[in-house]
Structure 1
C-alpha cells in the first residue's frame, strides 16, 4: 500500500536569513559611507538608503551611529583575533613574536584610517564595560582580556625558555605591553598617512626598551 503523501515542509529559517541579509547590507553600507564621507559627516539616513532599508530598520540593528561603527569594526576585529591566536605558539624571541602579533592589527588599522580613527576615538574615554555603553561597545572591550591572554601566553613561553626573568609577573608584563600598544597605535594614527612600516618601527623601539627591564639578565 503506498504511503500517503505528506504536505511539503515550509521553508525553514527564511525570516532568520532575511535578518542576516539585512544586517549584512546595513554593515556594508555603513562601512562604505563612513569611508566616503568620514564618520562625523556620515548620516544614518544615507546608510539606510545605501542598504535599501528604512531608517527605522537601521535602528533595529544598531542603537546609534557609533553602534554602527563599532559593529563594523567588531566584526572585522573578531576575524583578525582568530588569525592572531596561532601566532602565540610560534617560536622565537619575545619581541619578534609580539611584533608579528601586533602587525596584524597595525595592518588592519592602516588599511582604512577613516574607520580606525573614529573607532579608537569613540572607545578611548571608556574605562570599563557596563550596561550604559551598549552591546557593541561592550563587545569591543570584551576582546581586551582575550588579547591580554594571548600576550601573557607569549610571556610565559619566554619565561620557560629562559629569555624573560621568572620573577616578572606575566599578567603585569602583558598589561604593560598592551598599554604601550594602545598608546603607540593612537599616536601613529594621528599621522596624516599612517604607514605600516613607520608604525611598526616605532612600536619595535618602544617595546624593545620596555622588554629590556624584564629580560633574564643572567642568561648567557
Structure 2
C-alpha cells in the first residue's frame, strides 16, 4: 500500500506541474490562478496546497524536474564523450539547452530566476541552487573523463575548467531568456564560439 500511495502522490504532483506549466504558457505566470491550475489537474485547491505553498514554489519545482531530466540525459554523454574537447562540451551543453524550453517558456525562466534570488532560503530555492551545482559538477566530470582518455592535458584542474564552461553556459542562458528574439541555435553557436579558445588551450597537442 505504501508503494501505491507513493505512486499516486507522484502522479498528482506531475499532473499539477503539467497543468500549471500549460496554463502559464497560455495566459502567463501572473495571470494564472491556483484555482485554475487545480481544476486542470483534477485536484482540489486544498490538495494543491498539500504540495506547494505558492505558484512560485511550484514553478521552481518545475525547474527542478527539468534539470533532473537533463542531468539524467547528460550521463550517457559524460560516460562516452566524443574525443574532441569542444565537440564533447558542445554536445553536453546543447543537450541542456535543447531541453530548456520543454516545460518552461522564457518568461517562466525569468520568473523562476527572480524567485530563487528573492527567496533563497525556501526549500525549492535551495533545490534550484543544488541542481545548478549538480550541472556544474557534471560538466567538470566530462572534462575529467576527457583527461582520463588523453584528450585533455595532464595537470589541468578539471573542476576549475568545468566550472568555467558551466559559468559561461549559465550566463549565456540568462541572456537568452532575457531576449525573446534570441533563438536556441544562435545561443548554441555563440556559446560554442566562446568555448573554443578554452577547449583549444586544454586539449592535448595545444601549444
TM-score, normalising length: structure 2 = 0.83
Quote the residue 2:143 is aligned against: 155
Q: 1:87 aligns with which of 77, 83, 89?
A: 77
Q: Take 1:154 and 1:12, find their aligned partners in 2: how far apart are those partners?
A: 38
- Picking from 59, 64, 72, the partner of 1:74 is 64
Report how far residue 200 of structure 1 moved: 0.5
User: Which segment is superposed worse, 105-114 or 89-98?
Assistant: 105-114
2:88 equivalent among 97, 106, 111:
97
TM-score of the pair, normalised by structure 1: 0.79
Cα offset for 1:188? 1.6
What is the total number of aligned residue pairs between the two structures?
204
* Structure 2 stretches lacking a partner, 5+ long: none
Q: Distance in 2 between matches of 1:44 and 1:94?
A: 46
Unaligned stretches of 5+ residues in structure 1: 1-10
Instruction: Label 1:99 to 1:121 Cα distance change in 2 as closer, same or farther (>3 A).
Output: farther
Question: Equivalents in 1 of 2:158, 2:3: separation in Å?
Answer: 46
Q: What is the RMSD computed on CA atoms of the aligned residues?
A: 2.6
- Candidates 35, 39, 43, aligned match of 2:29: 39
Once residues 13 and 177 of structure 1 are traced to their aligned partners in structure 2, the CA distance between those partners, rounded to angstroms, is 41
**Bigger helix fraction:** 2
